[in-house]
């Protein structure tokens, strides 16, 4: 391990940097290494070798792309699983049930223990997982109490700094900051009444201080502490408490530890505090500027800084202007971005550097990993991108390039990068005029919409018409849509995608699967049947592949949580439906049964939330375009005789803005786009929606606003709590609280399901209650769902008899 103390001079901040880089690997090397370790095919040494190779390749690549190898421009942002879990490990702050996993000799938790905290063991539940700010990344929620051990326990951060240094690159270690770490933690079960994790701030800060000392001792010139808690007001911590915590934490870390001077090595590296995912309004910048940290990174893509005059304290600091979007895939107009950097001048920062708005964790690695072809994209799952898109896109590596160009412009003047500025403006301009980006017919249709297009008739009339048409028993039973995706289904789809299976054979294979699923549902005695979604790879990608205006990537993987990655489609142009998408599958299903069949679609908000969206128009306009395409699909389903249509919106809450002041506007357009999709139907057609969660928080009022005839939600784990909550929020249409927790392989007994159902009918008019699982069944096995659904139907019959 290198320990030469090179921090003898106060370091200048890099001219250009990124706040973090994807860590899963260009070919998901980390995923593969971690999963083979979990499966026992490799051991901890193999894992460490694979991860070390990936880390070294990454820092060298960042240097090759133009970041400075010597000044801390290159972030050290690796993680085996999650950056919040990394802090838990660093502090040894694991819940009591996992404390035996800590190595008694050195306080470390890796690697088995680390993954066990993330994934659970036997009866010991893992840490909960939840969304990281407004991204689709999920972090693990630390559990903290008065008695949680907190110290600088695991030194992996220091080892990784030394490892990169040995590979010739001086990195800037990146950690979630102490305030955000605690603000995102929850009180552990053993915490006393009224305890908040922030009560442990002093202990956490003391541990960070030790960590900073250790980093200084190995010569790290910079460290980055991410404090995105400062950009949101929707955490359960009041702003004044958060601000007091920031003051206290950085007084200790920045003022309390000596920074390097020109003559002397410091006790700590210079500190960059980063505030990604939004603006630091109203006074977060002033707050940070008043501390003794050396640099502050602000998000100038989602946020802005009103440059009204000098900010006290900023004159001694570097302001890192986050002008390159770390959270979306579009190439920047570099000239426009430079104008944003220049506009910061009145703030009076000591220096201005250029950065990304967020870590690049949220975008794929490299546009050049995609196959571009002049031919039209192939069949489902095809791997070619329209060649025009290459010019318009910037994934992580391209964004590093943008940062370095902008940094040169800032330090050497715009003329030094005139060619790059022109090229970027041309690329952005070509996007504006390209065919498909603006489709007049789509625009005209959207412009002609009136309020009537967003509204159905009165619910009472609809309910009566639907009851007459469907003839369902009380407590009707159904499922959420998907049935298990068997290896045979996946094989058939893969073969078809490769062109090895003819269209007709593929269709036959999927129809055979539908037959099987219909037979099973009939045998089980379910009331409203589904086709099982065998033809869908993913509930968003499937629709993206069938709508104009979207592209899908071959290697555009983005970490969702742990080793899980997703490939979000890219929504680049006006959205149109060239042909019906699901109608043949649903109509075929309906031809195989006399029971009602439920058509299955993904809603506009979810399609947007799980895609990269265009940045050249308001999201609400894009949502309405998707809404109109779905409206046409629903009209075709209706014309094909389908009486029930479900439009899934599991991501409705995900796009909720971080600032409360922005939330009403979001709910207006998101709910509006759902209503636009679903309100074209006859009163006798029943519209369902499905939301994957049970804690609605701020969106609870919006659930009613969707105006669906039936809403199914997750409810089994929380024992139906959501039913009275929805009732109290004024919801009074059909409700399907999940009575079978599909997230676990466990099969609930009929008695358990009956008990849950009894809870539900006690809290709301039983005439409104539907009986269904928590979510789709695609991740489960038939051996699990057959008995579970048998019990579900039995429970429905039993409770029905008591009504």
Considering the complex, what minimum distance in angstroms separates the CB of residue 648 from Zn ion?
A: 7
For ligand GLN, the closer of residues 219 and 481 by Cβ is: 481
Q: How far is the CB of 294 from ligand GLN (least distance, A)?
A: 44
Structure tokens at 415: 């003329």
CB of 119 to ligand GLN, least distance (A): 21
x/- mask, Zn ion, residues 723-762, rule CB under 5 A, reads: ----------------------------------------
Would the annotation count 564 as a binding residue?
yes
Between 425 and 560, CB nearer to ligand GLN: 560
Residue nearest to ligand GLN (CB): 776
Helix (H, G, I), strand (E, B) or coil at 392: helix
The minimum distance between CB 539 and ligand GLN, in angstroms, equals 5
Degrees to nearest 5, angle at CA 182 with 180 and 184: 70
The answer to the question of whether 714 is labelled as a binding residue is yes
| Binds 366: which of ligand GLN, Zn ion, none (CB < 5-8 Å by kind) | none
- 633 known ligand binder: no
Q: Which is nearer to ligand GLN, 398 or 482 (CB)?
A: 482
Q: Helices 663-678 and 619-639 meet at what angle, rounded to 10?
A: 20
Indicate the residue among 211 and 647 with the shorter CB distance to ligand GLN: 647
CA 327/CA 392 separation, integer angstroms: 15
Cα gap 296→279, rounded to integer Å: 12
- Tracing tokens 């460290």 back to the chain, one arrives at 223
Q: Residue 189: exposed, middle, or buried by beta-carbon count in 10 A (0-12, 13-18, 19+)?
A: exposed
Annotated catalytic residue, options 155, 196, 743, 791: 743
Interaction partner, residue 482 (ligand GLN, Zn ion, none; CB < 5-8 Å by kind): ligand GLN
Whether residue 247 contacts residue 202, with contact meaning beta carbons closer than 8 Å, is answered with no
88 binds Zn ion, rule: CB under 5 A: no
**Percent of the chain as helix, strand, coil, to the nearest 5:** 45, 15, 40
Query: In Å, how far are 197, 346, 749, 754 from 308, measured between CA atoms?
Result: 36, 7, 65, 63
Instruction: Record the tokens describing residue 52, joined without a space.
Output: 């070390």
Write out the H or E segment, with its range, that includes residue 675: helix 663-678
CA distance 386 to 569: 13
Residue 111 partner contact from ligand GLN, Zn ion, none using kind-dependent CB cut-offs of 5 to 8 Å: none
Q: Is 31 annotated as a binding residue?
A: yes
The verdict on whether residue 709 carries a ligand-binding annotation is: no
Of ligand GLN, Zn ion, none, which one does residue 326 interact with (CB within 5 to 8 Å by kind)?
Answer: none
Residue placing its CB nearer to ligand GLN in the complex, 344 or 645: 645
Name the one range near Zn ion by CB under 5 A: 397-405, 439-447, 469-477, 770-778. 770-778
**Contacting range for Zn ion; rule: CB under 5 A; set: 252-260, 270-278, 396-404, 773-781:** 773-781
Q: Is 690 annotated as a binding residue?
A: yes
Sites for Zn ion among residues 635-654 (CB under 5 A): 650
- Token couple for 175: 């950690």
Q: State which residue, 74 or 645, has the beta carbon closest to ligand GLN.
A: 645
Contacted by 456, from ligand GLN, Zn ion, none: CB < 5 to 8 Å by type: none
Residue 600 contacts which entry, ligand GLN, Zn ion, none (Cβ below 5-8 A, type-dependent): ligand GLN
Cβ 752 to ligand GLN shortest distance, Å: 22
Is 243 part of any known ligand binding site?
no
Q: Write the CB contacts of 721 (distance below 8 Å, at least 6 apart in sequence).
A: 694, 715
Cα 65 to Cα 59, 68, 73, 347, 660: the distances in Å are: 10, 9, 12, 30, 39
- Residue in 62, 320, 775, 785 binding Zn ion, rule: CB under 5 A: 775
Binding of Zn ion at residue 692 (CB under 5 A)?
A: yes
628 binds, among Zn ion, ligand GLN, none (CB under 5 to 8 A by kind): none
What distance lies between CA 449 and its chain's CA centroid? 31
Nearer CB in complex with ligand GLN: 22/569: 569
Nearer Cβ to ligand GLN (156/536): 536
The answer to whether 233 is annotated as binding is: no
Q: Which does 537 bind (CB under 5 to 8 A by kind): ligand GLN, Zn ion, none?
A: none
111 prior amide bond cis, ω within 30:
yes
Please tell me the count of residues contacting Zn ion according to CB under 5 A: 3
DSSP, collapsed to helix, strand or coil, labels residue 557 as coil
Tell the smallest beta-carbon distance from residue 776 to ligand GLN (Å).
2
The distance from CA 83 to its chain's CA centroid, rounded to whole angstroms, is 14
- Least Å distance, CB 738 to Zn ion, is 8
- Does residue 535 contact residue 589 with C-beta atoms inside 8 Å? no
Applying CB under 5 A, the span of 271-279, 322-330, 592-600, 771-779 interacting with Zn ion comes to 771-779
Please report whether residue 583 would count as binding Zn ion according to CB under 5 A.
no
For the CB of residue 503, give the shortest distance to ligand GLN in the complex, in Å.
24
First to last CA, the chain: 72
Does the annotation list 397 as a binding residue?
Answer: no
365 neighbors 555 (Cβ within 8 angstroms): yes
The residue ranges that bind ligand GLN (CB under 6 A) are 480-482, 533, 539, 600, 648, 650, 690, 692, 775-776, 778
Name which of 85, 283, 39, 100 is nearest 184 in CA terms.
Answer: 85
Residue with tokens 């109490």: 145
Question: For this structure, is 688 an active site residue?
Answer: no
Return the number of the residue (756 or 775) whose C-beta is nearest ligand GLN: 775
Question: In Å, what is the CA distance from 301 to each residue of 174, 279, 324, 398, 407?
Answer: 21, 9, 7, 17, 17
Residue 313 or 776 having the CB closest to ligand GLN: 776
Between residues 155 and 690, which has the closer beta carbon with respect to ligand GLN? 690
480 is in an annotated binding site: yes
Between helix 396-412 and helix 334-342 the angle, nearest 10°, is 50
* 60 known ligand binder: no
- Nearest CA among 471, 474, 505, 475 for reference residue 488: 505
Q: Provide, rounded to whole angstroms, the least separation between the CB of residue 565 and ligand GLN.
A: 17
| Tokens standing for residue 14 | 């890099």
| Backbone torsion region of residue 72, taken as left when φ is above 0, otherwise alpha when ψ lies between -120 and 50, otherwise beta | left
Q: Measured between alpha carbons, how far is 77 from 338 in angstroms, rounded to an integer?
A: 26
Alpha helix positions (H), 413-458: 418-433, 440-447
Q: How far is the CB of 512 from ligand GLN (least distance, A)?
A: 20
CB 108, CB 162: distance < 8 Å: no
Residue 514 marked as a ligand binder: no
Q: Is 28 annotated as a binding residue?
A: yes
CA distances to 397, 459, 638, 682 from 465, rounded to whole Å, are: 56, 10, 15, 9
Task: Tell whether 533 is in a known binding site.
Answer: yes
Q: Is 639 exposed, middle or buried (0-12, 13-18, 19+ CB in 10 A)?
A: exposed
Show which residues are catalytic: 743
Show binding-site residues: 28-31, 131, 480-482, 533, 564-565, 610, 648, 654, 690, 692, 714, 775
Show binding-site residues for L-homocysteine: 480-482, 533, 648
Show binding-site residues for Zn(2+): 690, 692, 714, 775
> Which residues are near Zn ion by CB under 5 A?
650, 692, 775
């Amino acid at each position: 391990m290198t320990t030469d103390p090179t921090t003898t001079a106060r370091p200048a901040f890099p001219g250009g940097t990124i706040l973090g880089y994807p860590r899963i690997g260009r070919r998901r090397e980390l995923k593969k290494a971690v999963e083979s370790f979990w499966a026992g095919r490799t051991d901890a040494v193999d894992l460490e070798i694979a991860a070390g190779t990936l880390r070294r390749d990454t820092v060298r690549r960042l240097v090759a792309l133009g970041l400075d190898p010597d000044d801390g421009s290159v972030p050290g942002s690796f993680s085996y699983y999650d950056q919040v879990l990394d802090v838990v490990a660093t502090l040894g702050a694991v819940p009591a049930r996992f404390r035996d996993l800590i190595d008694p000799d050195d306080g470390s938790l890796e690697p088995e223990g680390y993954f066990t905290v993330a994934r659970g063991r036997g009866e010991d539940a893992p840490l909960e997982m939840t969304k990281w700010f407004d991204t689709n990344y999920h972090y693990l929620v630390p559990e903290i109490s008065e008695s949680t051990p907190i110290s600088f326990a695991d030194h992996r951060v220091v080892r990784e700094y030394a490892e990169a240094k040995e590979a010739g690159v001086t990195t800037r270690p990146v950690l979630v900051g102490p305030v955000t770490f605690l603000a995102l933690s929850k009180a552990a079960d053993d915490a006393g009444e009224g305890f908040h994790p922030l009560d442990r701030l002093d202990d956490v800060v003391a541990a960070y201080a030790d960590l900073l000392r250790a980093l200084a001792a190995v010569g790290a010139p910079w460290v980055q502490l991410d404090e995105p808690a400062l950009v949101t007001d929707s955490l359960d911590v009041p702003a004044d408490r958060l601000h007091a915590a920031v003051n206290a934490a950085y007084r200790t870390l920045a003022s309390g530890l000596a920074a390097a001077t020109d003559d002397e090595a410091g006790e700590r590296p210079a500190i960059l505090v980063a505030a990604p995912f939004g603006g630091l309004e109203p006074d977060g910048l002033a707050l940070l500027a008043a501390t003794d940290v050396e640099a502050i990174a602000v998000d100038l893509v989602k946020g802005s800084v009103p440059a009204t005059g000098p900010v006290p304290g900023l004159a001694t600091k570097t302001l890192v202007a986050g002008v390159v979007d770390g959270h979306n895939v579009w190439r920047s107009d570099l000239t426009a971005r430079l104008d944003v950097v220049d506009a910061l001048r009145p703030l009076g920062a000591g220096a201005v550097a250029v950065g990304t708005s967020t870590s690049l964790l949220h975008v794929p690695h490299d546009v050049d990993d995609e196959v571009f072809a002049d031919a039209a994209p192939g069949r489902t799952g095809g791997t070619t991108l329209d060649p025009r898109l290459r010019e318009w896109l910037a994934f992580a590596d391209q964004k590093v390039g943008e940062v370095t160009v902008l940094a040169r412009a800032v330090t050497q003047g715009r003329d030094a990068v005139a060619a790059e500025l022109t090229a970027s403006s041309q690329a952005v301009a070509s996007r504006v005029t390209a065919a498909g980006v603006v489709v007049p017919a789509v625009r005209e249709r959207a412009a002609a919409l009136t309020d009537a297009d967003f509204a159905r008739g009165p619910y009472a009339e609809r309910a009566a018409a639907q009851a007459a048409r469907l003839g369902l028993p009380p407590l009707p039973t159904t499922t959420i849509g998907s049935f298990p995706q068997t290896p045979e289904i996946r094989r058939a789809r893969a073969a078809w995608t490769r062109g090895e299976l003819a269209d007709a054979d593929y269709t036959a294979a999927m129809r055979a699967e539908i037959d099987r699923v219909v037979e099973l549902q009939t045998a089980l005695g379910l009331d409203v049947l589904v086709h099982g979604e065998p033809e869908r790879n993913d509930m968003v990608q499937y629709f993206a592949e069938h709508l104009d205006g979207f592209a899908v990537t071959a290697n555009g993987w983005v970490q969702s949580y742990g080793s899980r990655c997703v490939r979000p489609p890219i929504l680049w142009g006006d959205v149109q439906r060239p042909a019906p998408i699901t109608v043949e599958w649903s109509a075929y299903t309906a031809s195989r049964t006399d029971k009602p069949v439920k058509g299955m679609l993904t809603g506009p908000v979810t399609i947007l939330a799980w895609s990269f969206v265009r940045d050249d128009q308001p999201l609400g306009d894009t949502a309405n375009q998707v809404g109109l395409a779905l409206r046409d699909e629903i009209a075709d389903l209706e014309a094909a005789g389908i009486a029930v249509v479900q439009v899934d919106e599991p991501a409705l809450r995900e796009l909720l803005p971080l600032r409360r002041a922005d939330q009403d506007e979001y709910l207006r357009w998101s709910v509006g786009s759902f209503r636009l999709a679903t309100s074209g139907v006859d009163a006798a057609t029943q519209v369902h929606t499905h939301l994957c969660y049970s804690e609605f928080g701020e969106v609870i009022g919006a659930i009613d606003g969707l105006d669906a005839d039936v809403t199914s939600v997750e409810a089994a784990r929380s024992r139906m709590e959501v039913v009275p909550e929805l009732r109290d929020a004024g919801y009074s249409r059909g409700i399907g609280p999940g009575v079978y927790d599909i997230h676990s392989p466990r099969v609930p007994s009929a008695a358990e399901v009956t008990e849950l159902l009894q809870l539900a009918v006690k809290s709301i008019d039983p005439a409104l209650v539907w009986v269904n699982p928590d979510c789709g069944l695609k991740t489960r096995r038939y051996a699990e769902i057959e008995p579970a659904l048998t019990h579900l139907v039995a429970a429905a019959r039993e409770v029905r008899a008591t009504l």
